[in-house]
Structure 1
Amino acid sequence: MDSARPTGSPGTTGTARTTRAPLPPLRRRLGPVVGLLLLSPICAEYLIGYLEVMGRPVDLLIGLLLLAPLYGTAAVLIREVLRRTGRGWPSILLLSAAFGVIQAGLVDQSLFNPDFVDEPSWDLERLPTAIPALGISANHVLDFVVGHVIWSFAAPIAVVESCAPRAAERPWLGRVGIGVMVMLYGLAVLVFLHEHTKHFMASPAQLGATAASAVALAAAAFLVPRCRAPRRSGWVPAPWLAGSTAVVLMTVHHVLPASRPGTVSDLLVLVLLGGLVARWSVRAQWGRAHALAVGGAALVTNAGLAFMVEPLGEVSYTAKYAANAVLMAGVLALLFWARRRPAGTVAPQDGAERRVDTGVRGGAA
């Protein structure tokens, strides 16, 4: 997973000699990059079905083109940086949290804007856990940041990597590609920041605290040890059980009330979910199928709950349910296809070929 790492057999010692492994062929990289650029905003904004444009295909497509530079580029950069430095899912979750804090606290500033959405439901979710001294709602902080961690970044990364197993642990972009992603993300941030701060701007103290939190989370992501072989031993559930557990915990996260007891319970549920993923993913039994199962669980959970979500604004329910059904069918087809993808032979960073396994054992996520 490192872009440069010592040669030799895993778990042995000796003279270290570093080499830079070449990028996979363009045909293996272009599809995953485009797929992640598109799947990230779909998971972030469309699957749960709350937008008033649900059921208007043209508006959904236009929105996707606008959202991909904000969500998709961030997901690609998170994945690229951490795969290049040889880090796994604990680091992906932490760096995703940093980008989630940036998105909700600095870009659209939904964490601080009491009138971000002109709907009664906004105050119903915000006021029970409001902290006036900080200008935030504990429930909103948890919902927005965790929503970005799971649905904007981590789950799309897991699913797209499973669709391209032969390139899953390798860099997808060269310097030019990374530069393009950074440029697109920066432009998107400027556009959305300008749009959302026309009538509201968080205080300097709020913006400073948000930036400091994002930096701390990003630093923590790089303090997590790199993935090294041999990996830890220990029990890991079968992929179907890991995925089922994730579906249950994510569903509980969504349905808990926006009260103080509900928010505390939600925090405990999410800590349990994150702790299980972090614990399982560093063990030898964790494979590509586990990552797909947990990431796919996030997509299925939101696509299923979307049928019960009340959308914002005036929406044709016939069109909304049709859109929900199409998205659910698309999710199931994508997960089925990803699960059926064959294992491939890749040239890892140490120069020796090995197999990437899509089953229970295999490539580290």
Structure 2
Amino acid sequence: MAIDRAHHHRLRSALGLFVLAPLIGEFLLGNQPVTALPSVFLLAPLYGGGALLVREAARRAGRGWPTMILLGAAYGLFEEGPVDQMLWNPHYGGFDLAAAYAGPRVPVLDTSVQLLQDVLTLHTVWSICVPIALVEAFARGGDRTRPWLGLPGLSVTALVFVGGSGFLALAQVESEDFVAAPGQFAAAGCVIAVLVAVAFLIRPTGGRGAAPLPRPWVVGASAFAATSAYWGREHLPDGVPAAVPVLGWAVLLAAVLVPCVRWSRSAGWGGAHRTALAGGALLTYVWVGFEQSRYLEVSRATQLLGSALFATGALVLQAVAVHRSGRREGSDPPLV
């Protein structure tokens, strides 16, 4: 009976991640109105299937967050490359992306450097890592680092992910009337393959030490400040050279990674810190969602209602996750 309960809990965790990923990645962000909530079932195979495959692949291989971060980056390139083709479509979604991202370009992928930075940031952080961290906060005992699916469940998830991705890719071609060049698809595929290979080749080195570690709320506040600063570049005045936000992104990335690597090597790093780190990023999407929803083609009242509803859900989820993770400490390998 205990084994059955544990199995059911793992399945609930997998299902929770499957649904939570698109809710954060699209609805909390403000990309979809509350009236489109049923479409979560169309988005879940891509977002939820991707997050679940990233998590299960890393955990089955005995790996931790470095692997999931790199796999999350590969997922981001996959979604906005072969699936949506936003990396190359200059008029994606009816917006003039060619003008919005007129700065330096990445030669191999043939896309804007700043657009690539946005794709990697949004999907690695919010589509993949934040949902995984929050759902793992509810895991029982060793289930946080244990696979939640057996081979049959993993196979079904992979099929759902591939099928959902293919469906959305065809829908995008139909709606956007755009198909990238074969070389662009090939380049994206090569970069994705490299990211996946590196994700499983890297191994954390060194043990844990007694480095000073801030309290969880400080970690969460730092994550909120850093991710809010990232979105702050949306408010840069006109005329700022394109190189400024590009270099600013690199500086901000270093400012985040350096302390996170140091903190993760501390013997005191645990579940409360991980949940706070994810929660800080989650709360950034709460305020960003209110701004982004202004561009939705629904009434302002519907925009505000939807943002308020998803924000409330995010706040409740984070509060419960903090409570649960504080009672279930556990360590991941250091980031390096």
Confirm or deny a common fold (TM above 0.5): yes
Separation of aligned partners in 2, 1:64 and 1:296: 22
Cα pair 1:40 1:68 within 8 Å, conserved: yes
Aligned length: 322
Identity within the alignment, %: 31
1:333 corresponds to which residue? 316
1:159 maps to what in 2? 134
> Given that residues 106 and 112 in structure 2 are in contact (C-alpha distance below 8 angstroms), is that contact kept between their aligned partners in structure 1?
yes
Is the 1:82–1:88 Cα contact (8 Å) retained in structure 2? Answer: yes
User: Counterpart of 2:85?
Assistant: 109
The SS at the match of 1:200 is coil
Structure 1 residue identity aligned to 2:179: M
Of 289, 292, 302, 2:285 maps to 302
Cα pair distance change 1:284/1:86, threshold 3 Å: farther
TM-score by length of structure 2 reads: 0.88
In the TM superposition, what is the alpha-carbon distance from 1:311 to its structure 2 partner?
3.5
Would the alpha carbon gap of residues 132 and 174 (structure 1) be closer, same or farther in structure 2, given more than 3 Å must change?
Answer: closer
Question: Taking structure 1 as reference, are residues 131 and 92 closer, same or farther at Cα in structure 2, changes over 3 Å only?
Answer: closer
| Residues 27 and 34 in structure 2, CA contact (< 8 A), matched pair in contact too | no
- 2:45: which partner in 1? 69
Distance 2:149 2:109 in 1: 40
Deviation at 1:102?
A: 1.2
When residues 41 and 168 of structure 1 are mapped into structure 2, their CA distance, relative to the original with a 3 A threshold, is same
Pick from 316, 331, 334 the counterpart of residue 363 of structure 1.
331
Counterpart in the other structure of 2:239 = none
Q: Distance in 1 between matches of 2:173 and 2:258?
A: 36
Would the aligned equivalents of 1:87 and 1:224 in 2 still touch at CA under 8 Å? Answer: no
Give per-residue Cα distances to partners, 1:284-326, cap 9 Å, x unaligned.
2210111101111111101122222354353211111111111
SS at 2:183 equivalent: helix
Q: Which residue, 44, 54, 63 being the options, matches 1:78?
A: 54
Q: Check conservation: 1:142, 1:267, Cα contact below 8 A.
A: no
Question: Taking structure 1 as reference, are residues 343 and 220 closer, same or farther at Cα in structure 2, changes over 3 Å only?
Answer: same
Aligned partner of 2:31 in structure 1 is 50
1:233-290 deviation line (CA, Å, top 9, x unaligned):
4233221111111111101111114732112202221233234334433432210111
Q: Does 1:205 align with 2:188?
A: no
Unmatched 5+ stretches in structure 1? 1-21, 345-355
Q: Distance in 2 between matches of 1:133 and 1:96?
A: 20
Q: What amino acid maps onto 1:318 in structure 2? A: A
Structure-2 change in CA distance of 1:225 and 1:131 (3 Å) = closer
| Alignment correspondent of 1:240 | 217
Distance in 1 (CA, whole Å) between partners of 2:273 and 2:213 is 9
Indicate how the Cα distance of structure 1 residues 78 and 196 shifts in structure 2: closer, same or farther if over 3 A, else same: same
Gaps of 5+ in 2: 237-241
The TM-score, its normalising length taken from structure 1, stands at: 0.81
2:194 to 203, 216, 219: 216
Which residue pairs with 1:9 in the alignment? Answer: none
1:210 Cα offset (Å): 0.8
The higher radius of gyration belongs to 1
Q: Is the 8 A contact 1:102 1:210 kept in 2?
A: yes
Q: Does the CA-based 8 Å contact 2:271-2:326 persist in structure 1?
A: no
Matched, 1:31 2:12: yes
Match of 1:175 among 126, 129, 151: 151
